[in-house]
Structure 1
């Protein structure tokens, strides 16, 4: 996000995070702050007095055992509103939610048609409700729900996908083609920026999914990654033995191994198709800058430059 803002000519940028930026050249814009520390957050926001705000901070992961483990997604959102109310220059704020406010495979009928199946998803649902309940604000808000963002600076599972294909131990599961809405990271950042600059009446109080406009066929995407990496041919594994391995993963997780590579929940996510109507985003944002093939090429280049592949 910072890289795009700099290219667009922005100079006064503040990045609030508990961790330093992964790009050293962005350190000058970073202030260490925990969004759960309301006093510190108010101090930083008041001092900077921003005009445009993108709230990306969150606690992620699906393995935590209690809802209060995701306080950043609930209390953090409320704290951000309390801080922004003290900054008179604020014009717009974008709050980041998740597609997991609904269970995988469920396409909601409207913005508040919630159906979470995990504590993480529930925490994001509560975060959205906190946004929607705000009254008498001096700025407008927009909610975004990113969908499976992948690309440079990414982590698992998609970076691991590139590595496993390169190393020759990735296999297609079953024989089907699974279509899924995915978001290449530079397209996602571009879309968020465009939402910040769009006419107010098109974005105020609205919710947008953030992804590439066309869904990816995971079978074809993996083959394209393999072709660009000049990796060996990707083979198929029958579904039944994979289900057995997932069941073993469930058992191991029950015995305390939280990050077991394969379990039934993850397998279901892999096999579930979900394709979202991206026309509302496209209507506001216009053409996105990168195709799937270009995104794959740029990700491979970044991985190699950073010695991660």
Structure 2
């Protein structure tokens, strides 16, 4: 069947969707929502499906293995391709570390062209293709400030110029959170639980954009199937831009019953400079100059276009926070908690 219904509504039931990186944090939520809506899903991932259930049909494979991915694509014959597979890091510094992004995206785009009726390729990018600061007005005015962001910008540019028999759309997740986040349990949530996290106090609040993982998945799927999306369109994925203290207070209260601790921004910046120096000497330190910058710089992003397309029900902030803190307090278990 045609995955993009002629009447302008989502035509997910019966659609054949290939998801790369479907075993990951966002990918797992995407696969589950697709299956619950009646889609036939193939998960292509370097790792097996991690849930306690059987999950979608899966192929274990490397995103840079052109032969394996093309074989999977020809065999499954998807009409929609959601490309999530990537190595994500804000600390890795070498371009070669991110070959799964700039090279893997090229492999994925070419593999999808081998399907008999490819319709839409949804490239999952990142907010980091444009650095924090004022809300961007030109979404193609790339200004990444990390090697990860640079690789994602390169992947977006490739798809814009690649000759292909299908349409593309780019989705840039913002600060996506929820159960099974790959780093939260061993970083921010642990710091909050122990009362170690110090939130910067400044003249004005730091406004950042957050999105619960299931809502991000619903936005990705809505963009994948909406006829209102044009070739090359770019969307940010998130729920709202809010004072970051609101988000951190809610998580801290859920974890230890108290709001997050406050600390003067000027002193935090000094601690960040000291941390950067110690890290250069080889000493581990949880705070550095870049982390303080991220904590104290606005990152409000345009969500209106995304919200106007979203057709799937959203999880309220309070419900998502309860699920996330419960997951952590129950041991951050690897199996899915509904």
Q: Same-fold call, TM > 0.5?
A: yes
DSSP 3-state at the match of 2:53: helix
CA 1:84 to 1:233, structure 2 compared with 1: closer, same or farther past 3 Å?
closer
Distance in 2 between residues matched to 1:158 and 1:203, nearest whole Å = 38
Using structure 1 for the length normalisation, give the TM-score: 0.90
Q: Given the alignment of the two structures, is residue 225 of structure 1 paired with residue 226 of structure 2, yes or no?
A: no
Q: Contact conserved, 2:132 with 2:299, CA < 8 A, in 1?
A: yes
**Superposition misfits of 4+ residues, deviation over 6 angstroms:** none
Q: Given the alignment of the two structures, is residue 153 of structure 1 paired with residue 180 of structure 2, yes or no?
A: yes
**Aligned pairs (5 A) from 1:165-204:** 165-175=192-202, 176-199=204-227, 201-204=228-231
More helix by share: 1
Q: Given the alignment of the two structures, is residue 253 of structure 1 paired with residue 279 of structure 2, yes or no?
A: yes
Distance in 1 between residues matched to 2:167 and 2:91, nearest whole Å = 34
Unaligned runs of 5+ in 2: 1-29, 334-338
Using structure 2 for the length normalisation, give the TM-score: 0.82
Q: Given the alignment of the two structures, is residue 237 of structure 1 paired with residue 263 of structure 2, yes or no?
A: yes
Q: Given the alignment of the two structures, is residue 90 of structure 1 paired with residue 115 of structure 2, yes or no?
A: no
Distance in 2 between residues matched to 1:7 and 1:27, nearest whole Å = 11
Q: Given the alignment of the two structures, is residue 62 of structure 1 paired with residue 87 of structure 2, yes or no?
A: no
Per the alignment, residue 315 of structure 2 pairs with 290
CA 1:75 to 1:230, structure 2 compared with 1: closer, same or farther past 3 Å?
closer
Q: Over aligned residue pairs, what C-alpha RMSD do you find?
A: 2.2
Greater Cα offset, 144-153 or 232-241: 232-241
Per the alignment, residue 33 of structure 2 pairs with 4
**Aligned pairs (5 A) from 1:114-129:** 114-129=142-157
DSSP 3-state at the match of 2:196: coil
CA 1:284 to 1:234, structure 2 compared with 1: closer, same or farther past 3 Å?
closer
Greater Cα offset, 33-42 or 142-151: 33-42
Per the alignment, residue 266 of structure 1 pairs with 291
Unaligned runs of 5+ in 1: none
Greater Cα offset, 47-56 or 219-228: 219-228
Distance in 2 between residues matched to 1:59 and 1:230, nearest whole Å = 32
CA 1:203 to 1:291, structure 2 compared with 1: closer, same or farther past 3 Å?
farther
Q: CA deviation at 1:164?
A: 2.7
Q: Contact conserved, 2:219 with 2:312, CA < 8 A, in 1?
A: no
